[in-house]
Amino acid sequence: MPCRLSLPKLLLVAGVFLKPFPTAAQSGQEQVCAGSAIPPGWIVIDDLWNPAKCGNPSTIVYNVWVIDRLDGTPVGATKSACVAPSPPGWVVVDNTWIPTRCGHPSTLVNNVMTIKRISSLSSSGRGAYPSLERISTRSDI
């Protein structure tokens, strides 16, 4: 007997296997609706489509941002993030194109940066915003 899955369920299952994300407790990462204010001390590291959250889009739009906590990262450590102004105490050491992250550009454009912590300065009270199209301002994740 054939297995029948609706398209949204099939895509959700495929998304789990194609783009797994560790839980916030495991990695210091959280997910917020794209376009939401980024908390101080956090930075956007990726985006994804979740049809069950942030406006419930029925077509593929990257409506969720994955953010990572910067506080507590030791001086000298590096992180990969979506291209944005470098946070206080961090410098950009590399930029690259990764078509499956940070806006999912189909043309060669540097959309991901590697940043290195150079001092223990805290964030200035504003989050680091990537140059991604704002999809939703809902914060019901």
**Is the pLDDT assigned to residue 92 strictly greater than 90?**
yes
**Is the pLDDT assigned to residue 6 strictly greater than 90?**
no
CA 103/CA 92 separation, integer angstroms: 19
pLDDT value at residue 71: 87
**Is the pLDDT assigned to residue 111 strictly greater than 70?**
yes
- Average the pLDDT over 1-15 and give the result: 46
Q: How far apart, in Å, are the Cα atoms of 59 and each of 48, 53, 55, 131? A: 12, 13, 11, 21
- Average the pLDDT over 17-42 and give the result: 72
Question: Are the C-beta atoms of 51 and 7 separated by less than 8 Å?
Answer: no
- Average the pLDDT over 76-86 and give the result: 95
pLDDT value at residue 19: 43
pLDDT value at residue 28: 85
- Average the pLDDT over 76-99 and give the result: 96
- Average the pLDDT over 13-28 and give the result: 45
Question: Are the C-beta atoms of 99 and 106 separated by less than 8 Å?
Answer: yes
**Which H/E stretch holds residue 96?**
strand 90-96
**Is the pLDDT assigned to residue 52 strictly greater than 50?**
yes
Question: Are the C-beta atoms of 50 and 140 separated by less than 8 Å?
Answer: no
Mean pLDDT of the chain: 77
pLDDT value at residue 120: 82
